[in-house]
Chains A and B, each alone.
Chain A
């Protein structure tokens, strides 16, 4: 960035460089504007507002660290949201990766009807999140949903799913696992890239199926597994639509029904950080505290993004 030009570059070269820099700037210009207006400006502004009291009506006033201490020590939703995020990172991301890898493997083993199966496995991933959540809220409705009626028919206990704090996150996990089409495709591509000679060699050594998976497949696809895990974590940080819609539908508090929907239904069990930004910013209109949560969310996302970019090899390479 701050490297100084060597002084003895011939003029033609220098002007050529200037021309190429200009050219790059011209091609990059849409993004440069977008980056400044939609990223730099709001980030600066978010930091600024995090120290202000602002309700949207009266002019912002400086409050020092009040919003920060409110969010960390008194805002009753903050820690539950972090705990839920941790739960989702550990359980939901793991389930998604395991099932994604499982279906990927299954697809590579299938001899007939691959195309049909691949399409069927992939379809749920395409279902718009609001529609998919709506569908699952219906399927898992404890009173009248088909899932519980099937469970009862075979004599299994029927959980309260989106209505029970102990089952709401598992229900969301089920919904997330349903839509693993993206991971399946990525794993499929990675699995097909594993050199067949390695399998043949392992087979000659008398390796069992599990050993072949453990010592040939896994090492070969580990960068992709890593990638799936890290992007899964980042997606979990952004998890918003599904818990919000599921909570609204399950609690029955939607739209014009009079009550305000308090995110996290039931019992704060589905709260995530982005929902806190909504609750503080657009329900309580405490823009300052909303900005504090936004900055926490930013910091967490960036830690994992840095991890994504720094891993040598398989992940996103920032360089060549």
Chain B
């Protein structure tokens, strides 16, 4: 396939005007079938694409076009991919990471924002964006003073639109609730999916961690906080169905580990698990190489693999195929299936990021907490 940039490359010499015209006539990154052209213009000794695709070299060098200040790089990107990236500029000894100046599309996370490349076939789902006719739910706040952590914890509570205390609801506890709200549009997603009857009206407890790297990997205090403090309080304060099948735990990355660990420590308490890009690192022999933060994770996952029991009834897992954790997630699926739990596993051409987790919420939540879509015609 002949790419747009090939016309520019065929010219000799390439003038500043040619580059101006090329940049004016196209938007970047330029997606042409399964190939994406990234562009940069400016003085540098080297320009590299820093992406978060496991399996490719993390820094891919751009090519300078003849003697100009225009640089490009072409990436093969399979259909439906979504990739977050930055440019690495090297000027002498100085190395700087910047967002793509030609690309207004950004994905935010707790560390800032990345540029986003949407491959051919990817489209942001409409249910992740606010809709005018959707009745919004509300956010409430709870304070738990006496917790196993020894400090006070705040919990944000999502109540669905048309909430009433004469009816009973299912409960979903979400790790890193603030980040899910901010970076994965969780409130908008819940509002839309509940409004469309695809997901049952839920009460959602959004937790805010202290040091998540300490609290999440199979920490007894954290599991006790969920099962012995938060759950009883939620059941006392809100009209909840008091059955494991109507309770879920959800989390991404270390939050998925925390969810699985809590369900494992308190089997028969939380019937549904939604585990996104779980950091399920393990070793078959020897030491792991993921750094000290993963020590308690590996210890837990190894113990879990040895003796999984049956922590829940239904488990939904998702992972991006461009994540380094894809091997660990694929590995845990058959193990979970062997426990007799009902397991659903979904992959997407995306990375370890909030928008990947956002985009999987429809299929996950509608599977764990199906709404009356087929029965309600308003």
Q: Say if A and B assemble together.
A: no
